[in-house]
Amino acid sequence: MNGNAEKSAELVGRLEQLPFSRWHRNFFVLAFLGVMFDAADFALFGAALPPISKEFGLGPAQAGLLATVGLVGAFLGALFWGTISDYIGRRTSFQATVAIFAVFTGLVAAAWNVLSLAVFRFLSNFGLGGEIPVTLTLAAEFSPGRIRGRMTGTIMAAFPVGLVVAAALMGELRMQTQRGTDARRVPDLLQWEQAIQIINAARGGK
């Protein structure tokens, strides 16, 4: 028991002495992009909701319920993945949340009715909601104390950046809908590319 405590203390001491390395930089970029596109997803789905409602013939109450389903998924995802990452590891949880987010965001574009759209949206946000707490925990655990607050704070600053990115893409959404493109596909285009990059980077980080 005492031996384990000594090893833990030694590990923490070594971690506190680490400089800001290439690993920290790569992780920061990865985490920043993940949080940024999480925020962009929320905003873009809100922008896409009116044309989606028109396509499926949804009333205001049904459209509101569709938006709420995503928020519930994110809430439950944060609770679930924040807890289970203590048991299966942060890296595994991070990869799983990004994969779930990528797959089911892609399936949103293939939804054939309101029920399938709601299910895919719930599951995609279940991954999205888990990615943020797992990312912040990783940042806190693997950053030296002198930069820990700066790392986690700057990573969360990616959320408003994502909202700005979403605002820039809303013009594209309007043009796509005017040309008759399925409104569900617009939030999906950016998510697939970035999710693939994030998964590849996570697999490469040892």
Summarised one tens digit per residue, pLDDT across range 163-186 is 888 877 776 666 665 655 555 554
The percentage of the chain sitting over the pLDDT mark of 90, rounded to a whole number, equals 8
| SS3 annotation, the chain | CHHHHHHHHHHHHHHHHCCCCHHHHHHHHHHHHHHHHHHHHHHHHHHHHHHHHHHHCCCHHHHHHHHHHHHHHHHHHHHHHHHHHHHHCHHHHHHHHHHHHHHHHHHHCCCCCHHHHHHHHHHHHHHHHHHHHHHHHHHHHHCCHHHHHHHHHHHHCHHHHHHHHHHHHHHHHHHHHHCCCCCCHHHHHHHHHHHHHHHHHHHHCC
Question: Does the pLDDT value for residue 136 go beyond 90?
Answer: no
Instruction: Look at residue 197 in the predicted model and tell me its pLDDT.
Output: 47
Instruction: Look at residue 12 in the predicted model and tell me its pLDDT.
Output: 56
Task: Quote the mean pLDDT of the chain.
Answer: 76
Return the sign of the alpha-carbon dihedral for residues 87, 89, 95, 97.
positive
Question: Does the pLDDT value for residue 193 go beyond 50?
Answer: no
Reply yes or no on domain 22-204 having CATH 1.20.1250.20. yes
Q: Is there a contact between 9 and 166 (Cβ–Cβ < 8 Å)?
A: no
Q: Which residue from 44, 65, 68 is spatially nearest to 56, judged by alpha carbons?
A: 65
Confidence tier at 154 by pLDDT (50, 70, 90): confident
- 124 φ, ψ (degrees, to nearest 5): -65, -40
Instruction: Look at residue 14 in the predicted model and tell me its pLDDT.
Output: 60
- Which amino acid would we find at residue 32? F
Instruction: Look at residue 4 in the predicted model and tell me its pLDDT.
Output: 57
59-117 tens-digit pLDDT = 888 888 888 888 899 999 999 998 998 899 888 898 899 889 888 888 887 888 888 88
Question: Does the pLDDT value for residue 6 go beyond 70?
Answer: no
First vs last C-alpha separation in the chain: 28
The percentage of the chain sitting over the pLDDT mark of 70, rounded to a whole number, equals 73
Instruction: Look at residue 24 in the predicted model and tell me its pLDDT.
Output: 78
The pTM assigned to this predicted structure is: 0.72
Mutual angle of helices 60-88 and 22-56, in 10-degree steps: 150
